[in-house]
Amino acid sequence: MPERRDKRRLAVPPDDQLLEMLYYLKLVRAFEERLSRWARQGKVLGGIFSGIGQEAIVVGACYGLRREDFICPLHRDLGAFLVKGVPPGRLMAQIAGKRDGLSKGKDSYLHSGDNALGIFGNTSMLGANLPVAAGIAYTFLLEEVDHVVVAFFGEGASSTGDFHEGLNFAGIHRLPIVFVCENNLYAYSVPVEKQMAVADVADRAAAYGFPGVVCNGNDLLAVHDAVGRAVARARAGEGPTLVECKTYRWHGHSEHDKAFYRTEEELLQWKSRDPIPVFQRYLQDKKVLTEQTLAGLEQRIAKEIEEAEAFAEQSPFPEGPEALEDLYAP
């Protein structure tokens, strides 16, 4: 059975880091909300797959990683890009298909990455990034460096062949990788009980010889603790860990999905577990967050989002001949 963490044993970061984590939670939410508005205004080239409601996972998993550590995010993990260091304006330009985006307007954000920041672009076939992530971790092993890979996937992807191949290879070679499952209960419209017969995705790690951990994906500190322990384990040469984060996406699979396959009552129940006010109240009770600090934080984020939108809108679209550039590595 997967290991389950006791909240009383969570490793709590220093106060300044807690405030920075709140900043990222709120920045990711504000960024995603602006993109939802963009989608309704027709400003997006391609789809928008909102991660609203799941912010604690990307922030908790990515905060504290080294620049040299690689992440392999999914279509719903825009927040991971921001925490890993991509400027909001550049990420927004990417989503708008502009020249100042990560891929210079050649692709949607779904497949974009930044090797300099340790971000590997995703594939459209969800789960197919896991063997690639294992390959990156295998490179770190061969180079004898203590870098770590954090690879994201959904519970639906855990029923695909790529998932099992990636985890099997990682287990055999004791790779420095952390597999983070964002279990939001629906693989598009398929509820979790219709696509797997076990209660926890983390149960599947045992078949490949490494630990599986279940945590509350709406609890920022629980995610940060579980992934942090797994990263430390990987960095020490002790092999992979599968961390399953139980959560819920507020929006449909994409902005055009009305999500009629779930009930309003279920959505309201999960909205009451919103990770942002939960963490905010924790910081206020801990006397770390004051009203003045909170107001300053929200003003800073509002300014950054406005500047990011202006940057993206002012960025030009690429010219036709630019499509033939950057086809091969230098």
pLDDT digits (tens, 9 = 90+) for 39-81: 888 888 778 888 999 999 999 999 999 999 999 999 889 999 9
Lowest-pLDDT choice from 20-29, 203-212, 314-323: 314-323
pLDDT greater than 70 at residue 8: no
State the pLDDT confidence band at 202, using cuts at 50, 70 and 90: very high
Instruction: Look up the pTM and report it.
Output: 0.94
State the pLDDT confidence band at 249, using cuts at 50, 70 and 90: very high
pLDDT greater than 80 at residue 257: yes
pLDDT greater than 80 at residue 4: no
Distance of CA 241 to the CA centre of its chain: 17
Mean pLDDT value across the chain = 93
State the pLDDT confidence band at 7, using cuts at 50, 70 and 90: very low
Using the Cα atoms of residue 320, residue 325, residue 326 and residue 328 in order, give the sign of their dihedral: positive
State the pLDDT confidence band at 222, using cuts at 50, 70 and 90: very high
Percent of the chain surpassing pLDDT 70: 97
Query: Which among 327, 184, 248, 186 has a CA at the least distance from the CA of 53?
Result: 248
Contact between 88 and 82 (Cβ < 8 Å): yes
pLDDT at residue 1 in the model: 42
pLDDT digits (tens, 9 = 90+) for 163-182: 999 999 999 999 999 999 99
Residue 106 φ/ψ, nearest 5 degrees: -90, -10
Mean pLDDT on 128-153: 97
Calculate the CA dihedral of residues 4, 7, 12, 16 and round it to 10 degrees. Answer: 120
Label residues 191-213 b or e (16+ Cβ within 10 Å = b): ebeeebeeebbbbbbeebebbbb
- CATH class for the region spanning 3-311: alpha beta
pLDDT at residue 44 in the model: 81
Specify the residue for token string 């992979």: 240
Mean pLDDT on 245-253: 93
Q: Per the structure block, which two tokens stand in for 145? A: 């460096």
pLDDT digits (tens, 9 = 90+) for 132-142: 999 999 999 99
User: Domain segments of the chain: what residues?
Assistant: 3-311
pLDDT digits (tens, 9 = 90+) for 10-39: 889 999 999 999 999 999 999 999 999 988
